[in-house]
Amino acid sequence: MTQPIILITGSTDGIGKATARELALLGAEVVIHGRNKQKGNDVQKELAKITGNKMPDLLIADLSSRDQVRQMAEEINSRYTRLNVLINNAGTYEKKRRLTKYGVEMTFAVNYLAPFFLTRLLLPLLKKSTPSRIVTVASSAHEDVDYIDWDNLPAQDHYDSWGAYALSKFADITFTYTLARLTEGTGVVANCLHPGVTDTKLLRSAFPGYPAISPEEGARTSVYLAISPDVAGISGQYFDNRKQVRSSALTHDCSVQDRLWNLADSLMKIS
């Protein structure tokens, strides 16, 4: 059986690194991504030593940069003739409001716009590689979004760090649902997940001392959705602890889904 090729964003630390390690041990050809080349090189060597295989491919990109996301997609499209799984794992939590160079609040840009853009750019390759899977790491934080202040997007002049994070993860879920509808019948499935409150650099920075599970435990549902035959063909679902659960009612509002999709489409200048 041909080993799957799996790209995991944000895989030089935390849940992403644990996901890459587990998938590599299970025989996948993992492609890792990070912002820091030295850190990425260290993870490459670590994974090669653990698995006894050649060093995994490494991509360096700052996901807050539209240009760098595009460049990363171009690298994947030029290096690989297939991509079996894309795991949108990278994320940030910004305690203070920061903007990207194109005027978008940083949390929204990295956590939502970047996976939206990368997935859209890699979709033709994923369609060529069917059956293929798109897995996006969301969060139960989305449940705290009970309305969307559309006038506050995309710069979020009225900034609340937790609200910005919750909204970005909410948007990841609506993106998954829309994507699943648009890829129905193509052989591409799209699902998202809550990894659990996990002991990562992000959590320690945002909420130091908060009780949490290990990155290995936090990676379990991502690994499950990436390769388990139990979920082959399942699409447009939200998972927690490897089980399908229902996300908040507002995430199922088609008008909200469409508006967030169209906003991202416009900001990323896709259409």
Domain boundaries, given as residue ranges, for the chain: 5-267
- pLDDT > 90 fraction of the chain, expressed in percent and rounded: 89
Q: Which residues are catalytic?
A: 165
Please give the model's pTM, rounded to 2 decimal places: 0.96
Concatenate the DSSP letters of all residues of 83-135 into one string.
Answer: --EEEE------SS--B-TTS-BHHHIIIIIHHHHHHHHHHHHHHHT-SEEEE
Coil, helix or strand at residue 244: strand
Question: How confident is the model at residue 271, as a pLDDT?
Answer: 61
Question: How confident is the model at residue 258, as a pLDDT?
Answer: 98
More confident residue, 245 or 203: 245
Indicate if the pLDDT at residue 270 is higher than 80.
no
Compute the distance between CA of residue 271 and CA of residue 27 in angstroms, rounded to an integer.
37
Average pLDDT over residues 178-183: 98
pLDDT tens digits for range 60-87: 999 999 999 999 999 999 999 999 999 9
Average pLDDT over residues 87-110: 97
For 5-267, CATH number? 3.40.50.720
Indicate if the pLDDT at residue 1 is higher than 60.
no
Compute the distance between CA of residue 130 and CA of residue 141 in angstroms, rounded to an integer.
32
Q: How many CB atoms lie under 10 A from the CB of residue 138?
A: 30
More confident residue, 212 or 187: 187
Residue whose token pair is 């082959």: 232
Compute the distance between CA of residue 260 and CA of residue 174 in angstroms, rounded to an integer.
8
